[in-house]
Each structure stands twice: as structure tokens, then as C-alpha cells.
A = this chain, B = another copy of it.
Amino acid sequence: MHSFTDLVPAFEERFTASLPFSQFPATLYEPCRYFLQLGGKRIRPVMCLMANELFTDIGEDAWHGAFGIELFHNFTLIHDDIMDKAPLRRGKPTLHTKYDMTAGILCGDVMSIYAYDEIAKIKTALPLVLRAFNKTAIEVCEGQQLDMDFEQRNDVHIGEYLHMISLKTSVLLACSLKIGALVSGAMGDNANKLYSFGANLGVAFQLQDDFLDAFGKTELLGKQNGGDIIANKKTFLHLKAMELANAAQRKEIEELLKYDGADKVPAMLALFTATGADAHCREAVANYSQLAYSCLEDVAIQSKRKEPLMELADYLLLRDR
């Protein structure tokens, strides 16, 4: 059995060595290589490998699944960066900034096809894998569309927000685990429980991210906190505060939205606390985490084999056990 930290460098090495892009046209494939070498935590593909190793030695099919998932994830990042007009990713210029819009669109397109090309190499349970992958891929697009829509709306409910982050963030984590299980030949029931583990873990992780962006210690995050507040992002904290606020508090929040800059962060944090939004957010993180752990417990395999996935969940949710 391998831990997450064992598998990340193993994935990195094999992924880099087997990138499918040819040399020509360089205008298409050079930007693809640029973007992929920006790195990333590689959580999704490594989860696919870990789910596979729950049931068997990590096999070729799991590697194809992991490569396909990582290529697909990067395709969505490239296109999201265009839609979000983001200049930087991981401290480096985004693809469409370094090259141009055409490259941004087309490199994303071709990367998504290469993702399918990796998935298509899978031999075990290919129709099931394709069905899971397609469903997820469609949901990720829907999640991004909802995220864009919400920027234009002032009446987003918490339920809609949870649905959006589930589509945009969780389903691909969940699908990675499911594919790792399916290609091991694991029963559908185990694969579905791993899917639910990933789906709940993803929401817990995203809500924790919302919380830490506001209340986290700067040294822990490696970035200034309050970024979401400065950007007027409609996070769980913001939406919950609006929901719980009395008339005076709501007016205060609406006033703060009109101001730009970091000055407003302390006032908004005070409102998150005064309305009780912070406590609700902590509670939601705890609930989704609990659900995630119990789904993992339900997977019908010896507990010892689940240790690496448990540790990864602990790490993502910043838990000491």
C-alpha cells in the first residue's frame, strides 16, 4: 500500500514521461506542455490510483484513468481561466495570457480529447468507466456555468451554492475514486460508496476553503486572508450571513459590497461572526466530513487497506487523529 505522498511523485514522473502531445503543430502543443508543467497538487489522479490500490495492485488501467482525469482537470482550468479573465495560475501567466485566446480555447479542446484518449485505453469495465466519466464531465461544465450565472445574481440560496460547488469541485474527485475502483473489477456497490466518499469530502474541503480564506491564519494559507471578501465572492459565509442577518446587518453587508479594497475585511469578518455564519460554516464542514468518513467506512474491504485514503482525508481536512 502506498500513501498519498508516495504516489504524488510517482504520478508526476510517469505523467510527464508519457505526455501524449507531439511536436507539431508547436503552436498547439507547446502551450499544452507549458500549462501542465505549472504543476498542481495532483489530488484527483492520485485518488484514482489509491482507490485502485484499495482492491488490487495498481495496474495499467488505473494509470490511464489517472492520466485522463488529470488532463481533463487541466482542460477545465484552461477554459475557466479564460472565462474568469484570470491573469495568473500558480503564480505564472495563465495559458491565454501567455499565448492568446485562440491557444486558450484550442489547447483546452485538444487536452479534453487527449483525456478521452487515455480513458479509451482502459480495458476493464470500459463502458462503465465511460458512463461515469461522461456524467461527471457534463456536471463539471454545468457547475462552471452556474458559477458564472451566480456572479450576475443577488438571490443565490445556500442550497444552490452547495449544488454548484458539488458539481464544480466534488464530482471529479468522486469520479476519480470511482474509476480507480471500477478498473480494479471492484463491485459497483464499493465503487459507488467511494464516489460518495469523494463527493462529501469535496464539499467539506471547499467549505473549509471558504472558511480559511476568511478566518485562516495567513501563515497557514500562504496567502493574505480575506481574498474572497475583497473580491465580493458569494461564498458559503457570505450567503449564510445574508440569510441570517437582521435588517441592520444586511444593510451593513450591502454597504461593504460597494467598497473595494482590503480595508473592509475586518468589518465583514465581524458580520460573519455576529450573524453566526462562521459557526454554520464550521458545522457544515463537520457534517460533510462525517458523511465522507462514514462512506469510506462502508466500503467492504479490510480497514487496514483504507488507511492511506483516511490519511489523505485527514490531511485535506486538516485533522489530527
Task: Give the interface of A toward B (CB within 8 A).
Answer: 25, 27-28, 79, 82-83, 101-102, 105-106, 108-110, 112-114, 116-117, 120, 126-127, 130-131, 134, 137-138, 141-142, 144-146, 148-149
User: B141 contacts A113, CB within 8 Å?
Assistant: yes
10 additional A-B residue pairs with CB within 8 Å, beyond A25-B142, A113-B137, A126-B126: A25-B145, A25-B149, A27-B148, A28-B145, A83-B101, A83-B106, A106-B144, A110-B138, A112-B112, A116-B134
User: A28 contacts B142, CB within 8 Å?
Assistant: yes
Min CB distance, A273 to chain B, in Å? 33
User: A83 contacts B109, CB within 8 Å?
Assistant: no
Oligomeric state, in number of copies?
2
User: A117 contacts B134, CB within 8 Å?
Assistant: yes
User: A148 contacts B102, CB within 8 Å?
Assistant: yes
A131 to B119, CA, bound (A): 11
Q: Which residues of B have CB within 8 Å of A28?
A: 141-142, 145
User: B106 contacts A145, CB within 8 Å?
Assistant: yes
The 5 closest A-B pairs by CB, nearest first: A120-B130, A110-B141, A28-B145, A117-B134, A113-B137
Q: Which residues of B have CB within 8 Å of A114?
A: 138
Min CB distance, A179 to chain B, in Å? 14
Given A25-B142, A126-B127, A134-B113, answer yes or no on A106-B79 (Cβ-Cβ < 8 Å).
Answer: yes
Q: Which chain B residue lies CB-closest to A120?
A: B130
Min CB distance, A173 to chain B, in Å? 18
Q: Which residues of B have CB within 8 Å of A109?
A: 79, 108-109, 112, 141
Q: Which residues of B have CB within 8 Å of A83?
A: 101-102, 105-106
User: A134 contacts B120, CB within 8 Å?
Assistant: yes
A47 to B140, CA, bound (A): 32
